[in-house]
Chain A
Amino acid sequence: MNATTTTEAAPAPRKQSESLWSKAVGKFLRDRWGMASLLVVLVYLGIALGVWAGLWGTDWNTLTPTINAEASAEHWFGTNRNGQDIFERAIFSTKTAFEIGLVVAILSTILGAVMGAISGFFAGRWPDEIILWLKGVLDSIPFYLFVAAVAFALQGYAFSMHVAMVATFWTTTARLVRAEVIRLKGFEFVEAAHALGVPELRIISRHIIPNTTHILLVQATITFVSAIKSEVILSFLGLGVKNGVSWGLMISESTNEVTTGFFNNFLAASAFLFVLVMAFNMFSDALQDALDPKKTG
């Protein structure tokens, strides 16, 4: 392609070869809301990394004699009914949320990409049929019941919630990747690879999956949001986080406090959760807009 642009007759040289990615980055940088939401997500990530490094949030489990205290200089958001500092717990929960979100988003995106690529590449043949059937089956089981069932099977195992989420969240990614792969299969570069005798597995991994990256990136952000939102509900149902604390556990312990008029725990956890989910949703939208080649400007 470069050959055509460097011929003598070429008009004013193009400044740079415009790839999907450089265009997307440019578009994203111009998206004010997208950049603002990315900033918020990065602040949260910084908080989570700080907790992970032991810089702050270390007192989340310390009991103090002051129970259900109001906000003060010592306890920024007050204390809960056990006398634990709510601010420390909310900060520590940021790490929990990122742990769950990242593990689930990365694993289910990888699984979805592989399954979707196989199923799209062999569309209409038996590997596709089996994967489609599996997707249909997993989609037919109500999510919370599936998690409950997995929790039963993996009793006492701290990662049962993650396993259940990965096992159900990959299906959407796989569906989108499958459709894209079926579209890509018709392109000349895949045909050329076939003609050159490149093995099928290599065509899938080197030529097809890399071309679905834009779908995977957006899906990963959507899965991240679903994972931390599901954690809240699963923790309320007693199926979620077992060791440590999370916003979901804080909200579910606050259900006993709001009935007696103490809202600090509930409000703190809800606000932390809402801002992160909101920022991530907006980030995801901006990413989608930036990576959509059909949208211009």
Chain B
Amino acid sequence: MDTLQYALRKLVTGIPLVLGVTFISFVLMVYFGPDKTYDLIGKNATPEQIAEIRADLGYDQPFFVRYGDYLRELVTLDFGYSDSTGERVSRILARTIPISLALTLPGFILGNALGVLLALIAGFFRGGLIDRAIMAGAVVGMSISFLIIIIGFQVLLSSSYGLNYFPVRGWEVYSLGDYLYYVTVPTLAIVFVSLGYNTRFYRAVVVEEMNRDHVRTARAFGTPPAKLLFRNVLRNAAIPIMTRIMFSIPLVVISGSLLIESYFGIPGVGKVTYDAITTGDQPILKAVVGATAVLFVLTLIATDVMYKVIDPRVSLK
């Protein structure tokens, strides 16, 4: 009951954040955004026709009425129709988001799991050769651009100049075999790009925990390394680790899939967003920005509530 009350209170504090995000994206994309009037009318339009189109688009309305319309669209999840395909934006999103999740989730999970594992190993052998080798690898990983990784993996694994084991483009998934066939190279790219950052972050967390008295005591009592790392270190480091994972979910799903999908030609929400950016498809961009912001704020709240579940010491104030 306490937890529920806490969650509701947090939900209320999230409202100014959502209002801020929607306001900024409205001002940038709609108010100062491109004027679509002349894309929609034919040649030699009369002033009446122009005025009619502008009224349809809501350009004759005052600023706050238009902002209110945008908020209403967000609440009702009704963003109108795509400029380029004419399909309902909500239907496009419903169709493409599952694809993006299926595409990015394996890499996201593996990238974090491997990061934690490497961080535990590096932290355990702190200052030693293994630690230094892992951290040097992390810096190298951090220094390679995502785009270079994507192109590199594609050439090495999917083209006739390399191993040619996997498809260059596309997403025709009807079975588990298909799925593995199409998801492998993007997953490798996602793991590779996130592993360096993850390992560095998690190592700092692990090292801090390793320095605590209770870990030293456990060590003195001869706790075997695996048990020490998983029970004494990892469980106590759960909060910063969870925070990082939760916070990166909305950004990874949108930003990560943006590049991967546009490069591999996978019809997920990232590809849709990429096309919307390049063609200036406002309804889609509005929907994606708004939805991501709401998702981010919800994640923020969920994370706060989860602290309580993970760690009973956190007080609900």
- Chain A nearest CB from B262 CB (Å) reads 8
A149 touches B29 (CB 8 A): yes
Bound form: Cα–Cα A134–B21 in Å: 9
Taking a contact as CB atoms closer than 8 A, the residue among B148, B263, B293 that contacts A273 in the complex is B148
Number of contacting residues on A, CB 8 A?
43
Q: Using an 8 Å CB-CB cutoff, how does the interface string of A223-260 with B read, 1 for contact, 0 for none?
A: 00000010011001111000000001001101100110
Taking a contact as CB atoms closer than 8 A, the residue among B34, B140, B155 that contacts A152 in the complex is B34
B259 touches A150 (CB 8 A): no
Is B143 positioned at the interface, with any CB of A under 8 Å from its CB? yes
Is A136 positioned at the interface, with any CB of B under 8 Å from its CB? yes
Inter-chain contact total with CB atoms closer than 8 Å: 127
B151 touches A141 (CB 8 A): no
Most buried by B among A134, A155, A232, A259: A259
Is A54 positioned at the interface, with any CB of B under 8 Å from its CB? no
Taking a contact as CB atoms closer than 8 A, the residue among B139, B254, B277, B285 that contacts A239 in the complex is B277
Interface residues of B in 170-197 (CB under 8 A from A): none
Interface residues of B in 270-306 (CB under 8 A from A): 273-274, 277-278, 280, 285, 288-289, 292-293, 296-297
Is B164 positioned at the interface, with any CB of A under 8 Å from its CB? no
Bound form: Cα–Cα A36–B229 in Å: 35
B17 touches A133 (CB 8 A): yes
A251 touches B151 (CB 8 A): yes
Q: Which residues of B lie under 8 Å from residue A145 when comparing CB positions?
A: 25, 254, 273, 277, 285, 288-289, 292
B151 touches A266 (CB 8 A): yes
- Tell whether A152 pairs with B28 under 8 Å between CB atoms, given A145-B288, A145-B289, A258-B155: yes
- Tell whether A150 pairs with B28 under 8 Å between CB atoms, given A261-B161, A270-B148: yes
Can you name the residue of chain B whose Cβ is closest to the Cβ of A140? B296
Most buried by B among A134, A139, A141: A141
Q: Which residues of B lie under 8 Å from residue A106 when comparing CB positions?
A: none
- Chain B nearest CB from A251 CB (Å) reads 6
A233 touches B139 (CB 8 A): no
Is B242 positioned at the interface, with any CB of A under 8 Å from its CB? no
Taking a contact as CB atoms closer than 8 A, the residue among A138, A142, A281 that contacts B250 in the complex is A142
B144 touches A233 (CB 8 A): no
- Tell whether A153 pairs with B274 under 8 Å between CB atoms, given A137-B21, A140-B297, A273-B148: no
- Chain A nearest CB from B76 CB (Å) reads 21
Tell me if B's interface is mostly helix, strand, loop or mixed: helix
Bound form: Cα–Cα A180–B27 in Å: 33
Bound form: Cα–Cα A170–B292 in Å: 21
Can you name the residue of chain B whose Cβ is closest to the Cβ of A153? B32
Is B11 positioned at the interface, with any CB of A under 8 Å from its CB? no
A143 touches B255 (CB 8 A): yes
Q: Which residues of A lie under 8 Å from residue B20 when comparing CB positions?
A: 133-134, 136-137, 140
Bound form: Cα–Cα A196–B293 in Å: 46
Most buried by A among B140, B147, B250, B288: B147
Can you name the residue of chain A whose Cβ is closest to the Cβ of B258? A144
Is B142 positioned at the interface, with any CB of A under 8 Å from its CB? yes
Bound form: Cα–Cα A239–B277 in Å: 9
- Tell whether A142 pairs with B143 under 8 Å between CB atoms, given A137-B20, A274-B148: no
B28 touches A153 (CB 8 A): yes
Q: Which residues of A lie under 8 Å from residue B161 when comparing CB positions?
A: 258, 261
- Tell whether A255 pairs with B151 under 8 Å between CB atoms, given A232-B145, A278-B143: yes
Interface residues of B in 129-174 (CB under 8 A from A): 139-140, 142-148, 151-152, 154-155, 159, 161, 168
B259 touches A281 (CB 8 A): no
- Chain A nearest CB from B30 CB (Å) reads 9
Is A103 positioned at the interface, with any CB of B under 8 Å from its CB? no
Bound form: Cα–Cα A129–B291 in Å: 25
Q: Which residues of A lie under 8 Å from residue B16 when comparing CB positions?
A: 133
Bound form: Cα–Cα A149–B284 in Å: 12
- Chain B nearest CB from A282 CB (Å) reads 6
Can you name the residue of chain A whose Cβ is closest to the Cβ of B299? A140
- Chain B nearest CB from A233 CB (Å) reads 6
Bound form: Cα–Cα A263–B162 in Å: 12
Is A277 positioned at the interface, with any CB of B under 8 Å from its CB? yes
Bound form: Cα–Cα A140–B24 in Å: 11
Q: Which residues of A lie under 8 Å from residue B33 when comparing CB positions?
A: 149, 152-153
Bound form: Cα–Cα A134–B19 in Å: 11
A152 touches B32 (CB 8 A): yes
- Chain A nearest CB from B223 CB (Å) reads 28
Bound form: Cα–Cα A270–B251 in Å: 25
Most buried by B among A153, A251, A266, A273: A153
Q: Which residues of B lie under 8 Å from residue A233 when comparing CB positions?
A: 145-147, 259
A152 touches B139 (CB 8 A): no
Give B contacts to A, CB under 8 Å. Answer: 16-17, 20-21, 24-25, 27-29, 32-34, 139-140, 142-148, 151-152, 154-155, 159, 161, 168, 250-251, 254-255, 258-259, 262-263, 273-274, 277-278, 280, 285, 288-289, 292-293, 296-297
Q: Which 8 residue pairs across A and B have the least CB separation, nearest first?
A: A137-B20, A278-B143, A153-B32, A149-B28, A140-B296, A277-B143, A153-B28, A148-B277
Q: What are 15 contact pairs spanning A and B, CB under 8 A? A: A140-B293, A150-B28, A152-B29, A153-B27, A153-B28, A236-B259, A237-B262, A251-B145, A251-B147, A258-B161, A259-B168, A270-B148, A277-B142, A278-B140, A278-B143
